Amino acid sequence: MNPISTAILATAGLLISGSVPAVDMPMEGTARCGKCHAIDSSSMSPSFMEISEKYKGDKDAVKKIAASITSGGSFGWDYGEMPAKGMGASDAEIQSLAKFIAGLTK
Exposed e or buried b for every residue in 66-85, given b needs 16+ CB within 10 A? Answer: bebbeeeeeeeeeeeebeeb
Q: Which segment (5-13, 16-24, 63-71) binds ligand HEC by CB under 6 A?
A: 63-71
CB of 59 to ligand HEC, least distance (A): 15
CB of 98 to ligand HEC, least distance (A): 7
Q: What are phi and psi of 73, to 5 degrees?
A: 105, -155
Whichever of 6 and 18 has its CB closer to ligand HEC, that residue is 6
Q: Using the rule CB under 6 A, which residue among 8, 39, 46, 62 binds ligand HEC?
A: 46
d(CA 63, CA 66): 5
